[in-house]
Amino acid sequence: MNVIYYSADQDHATWVPGLQAALPHAQVRLWEPGAPLADYAVVWKPPQQLLDEQTDLRAVFNTGAGVDALMKLQLPAGVPVVRLDDAGMSVQMAEYVCHTIIRHFREFDGYETDMGNGKWSFRKPRSRIDYPVGILGLGVLGERVARAVAQFDFPVNGWSRSPKTLPGVNSFTGEAELGAFLAASRILVCLLPLTPDTEDLLNAERLSQLRPGGYLINVARGAHVVDADLLALLDSGHLAGATLDVFRVEPLPKGHPFWAHPRISLTPHTSARTLRSESIAQIAGKIAAMQRGEAVAGVVNTTLGY
Ligand SMILES: NC(=O)c1ccc[n+]([C@@H]2O[C@H](COP(=O)([O-])OP(=O)(O)OC[C@H]3O[C@@H](n4cnc5c(N)ncnc54)[C@H](OP(=O)(O)O)[C@@H]3O)[C@@H](O)[C@H]2O)c1
């Protein structure tokens, strides 16, 4: 069995030996143009050439949860694309989102500024009931985040394509219920996959449906948000702030207005990192299962794009 690995970002010097150790009966190599035909490809943002040349693939494994980069390519017909399931990402996402919500709700940034200025003063405690959290996307990551946020007694709303029954989460479904979901939420967390249906979803019309003093946390993909519309709503005061981990262009270009905005907090696409050893173990386990003819979890619906 032959396995190829390619990544536009990740460190092949550790992934290739890691996969080799997990699949001792396979030959694992770094893909280069003209590489011998492989049975499985393990990839992150591969070039079209890889898929065009590798005509014997039985499956393509994506070393992340989001498959939007792969979905832009011409995929080989009938070859399953398998995403990374949790693999240690959902707990990272839960801690990032809970940290951000609590920092905003408890006004910790304001306290830090005050104390830095030698000022000892109190802010009026806020009521959780006034800060309902809306989570766009209740998949592998969104569900974990929703459960974690509910643990802190915030009212939680969730939006997905299909209805969900999750303890402590009010489920809203599909385009028809998006307006009601936004109107019921003040803190908005985006955990949707990037697809033609969700690109530019968070525009002026949608973001202005959030309760006044809304707060956006985008941890999915930059192209979910219309940057200029977000800036206009922050400047008008309808939105109180935003924490952004993902951007249309990454790294965020120098001079982009997000860098200097006083009510935007930024992180460099780090809310949930791919953890190498967990991910290699998961992918190797799925390759072994496929070799035995078993079904595996995480097969992407290429028609829906996630
Ligand atoms: N910033 C980071 O470090 C980082 C790390 C990992 C992932 N991500 C991003 O997070 C995204 C979500 O990951 P995941 O593993 O939770 O994805 P997932 O398991 O595929 O879940 C996607 C969720 O979005 C819902 N959804 C999709 N399209 C929709 C639509 N048009 N209308 C309403 N709901 C829709 C799905 O509804 P159904 O349940 O009804 O299908 C599902 O609940 C990834 O695609 C990736 O872009 C970011």
Question: How do the pLDDT tens digits run along the chain, 306 residues long?
Answer: 999 999 998 788 899 999 999 999 999 999 999 999 999 999 999 999 999 999 999 999 999 999 999 999 999 999 999 999 999 999 999 999 999 999 999 999 999 999 999 999 999 999 999 999 999 999 999 999 999 999 999 999 999 999 999 999 999 999 999 999 999 999 999 999 999 999 999 999 999 999 999 999 999 999 999 999 999 999 999 999 999 999 999 999 999 999 999 999 999 999 999 999 999 999 999 999 999 999 999 999 999 999
Q: Which atom of ligand 1 is nearest to the CA of 219?
A: 1
> From atom 9 of ligand 1, which residue's Cα is the shortest distance away?
220
Give me ligand 1 centre to Cα 191, in Å. 5
CA distance 96 to 144: 12
Q: Is the CB of 219 under 6 A from ligand 1?
A: yes
Q: What pLDDT sits at residue 188?
A: 99
Listing DSSP states for the chain in one string gives: -EEEEEESSS-HHHHHHHHHHH-TTSEEEE--TTPPP-SEEEEES--HHHHHH-TT-SEEEESSS--HHHHTS-PPTT--EE----TTHHHHHHHHHHHHHHHHHTTHHHHHHHHHTT----PPPPPGGG--EEEE--SHHHHHHHHHHHHTT--EEEEESS---BTTEEEEETGGGHHHHHHT-SEEEE-----TTTTT-BSHHHHTTSPTTEEEEE-S-GGGB-HHHHHHHHHHTSEEEEEES--SSSSPPTT-HHHH-TTEEE--S-SSPPPHHHHHHHHHHHHHHHHTT---S-B--TTTT-
Q: Which atom of ligand 1 is nearest to the CA of 143?
A: 16
> From atom 6 of ligand 1, which residue's Cα is the shortest distance away?
65
Give me ligand 1 centre to Cα 52, in Å. 27
Backbone torsion region of residue 78, taken as left when φ is above 0, otherwise alpha when ψ lies between -120 and 50, otherwise beta: left
Give me ligand 1 centre to Cα 105, in Å. 25
Give me ligand 1 centre to Cα 3, in Å. 28
Q: Is the CB of 74 under 6 A from ligand 1?
A: no
> From atom 18 of ligand 1, which residue's Cα is the shortest distance away?
139
Q: Is the CB of 84 under 6 A from ligand 1?
A: no
Q: What pLDDT sits at residue 5?
A: 98
For residues 198 and 192, the answer to whether their CB atoms sit within 8 Å is yes
87 CB-contact burial (10 Å; exposed 0-12 / middle 13-18 / buried 19+): buried
Q: Which residues are catalytic?
A: 221, 269
Q: What pLDDT sits at residue 12?
A: 85
Q: What pLDDT sits at residue 11?
A: 83
Mutate-to-test residue for ligand 1 from 62, 70, 90, 141, highest number of ligand atoms within 8 A of CB: 141
Instruction: Write down the pTM of the prediction.
Output: 0.97
Q: What pLDDT sits at residue 10?
A: 76
Cα dihedral angle (93, 232, 247, 90), rounded to 10 degrees? 10
Give me ligand 1 centre to Cα 61, in Å. 17
Q: Is the CB of 142 under 6 A from ligand 1?
A: yes
Q: What pLDDT sits at residue 155?
A: 98
pLDDT digits (tens, 9 = 90+) for 23-45: 999 999 999 999 999 999 999 99
Q: Is the CB of 272 under 6 A from ligand 1?
A: yes
